[in-house]
Amino acid sequence: MKISNGSYPSIEEMTGRYLSGVQGRQRQSGDVSEKSFAEILNQKQTGGPEESVRFSKHAAKRLSDRNISLSSSQLNRLNEGINKAGAKGISDSLVMVDNLAFIVNTGSNTVVTAMDAREMENNVFSNIDGAVIA
């Protein structure tokens, strides 16, 4: 801190000097949410737009190993299937989209594993409490 002429800088000067750069960096990097707490709370209470589906590391590896790629339409249907399963109280669901099967934890919107028709022939799906055909 630099003292000039025996006077100290004001709190406003110090705040402006040191915090303006930090706040600008957070906004640029996306660390600061654009929504207020009240907006987020209202969205959660009213059942606003759901979070997008996430893929676990295991599921992402399975998709890659099995050369499975999802179109935007299929991804939307997967999201809808997860939302339907969650609305019915299903916590671990099998969601079928075309010839693809996804085991999903609806509480976290996370795909646990994925497979296509070739891998489904001899498989038994366990540890699920519901299924959705999307």
Instruction: For residue range 29-55, list pLDDT tens digits in order.
Output: 444 446 667 766 666 655 555 568 899
Query: 10: which DSSP letter?
Result: P
* CA dist., res. 125 & res. 132, Å (int): 13
pLDDT band at 28 (very low <50, low <70, confident <90, very high): very low
0.75 surpassed by pTM:
no
The arithmetic mean of pLDDT across residues 10-35, rounded, is: 59
Say yes or no to pLDDT of 128 above 70: yes
Mean residue pLDDT of the chain comes to 78
Give the whole-number percent of the chain exceeding pLDDT 70. Answer: 69
What letter represents residue 105's amino acid?
N
- Return the H-helix or E-strand segment holding 105: strand 100-105
Counted residue by residue, the chain has a size of 134
Asked if residue 90 has pLDDT above 80, the reply is: yes
| pLDDT tens-digit map of 69-88 | 888 899 999 999 999 999 99
Q: What is the CATH number of domain 54-133?
A: 3.30.2310
Mean pLDDT of the region 122-128: 82
Give residues with Cβ within 8 angstroms of 10, minimum separation 6.
none
C-alpha distance across the termini of the chain, in Å: 62
Q: How far apart are CA 110 and CA 87, in angstroms?
A: 15
d(CA 42, CA 49) in angstroms, rounded, equals 11
Cα 39 to Cα 32, 45, 84, 108, distances in angstroms:
14, 10, 24, 21
Domain boundaries, the chain: 11-46, 54-133
Alpha carbon distance 46, 17 (integer Å): 41
Query: For residue 46, what pLDDT is reported?
Result: 57
Whether residue 25 is predicted with pLDDT greater than 50 in this model: the reply is no
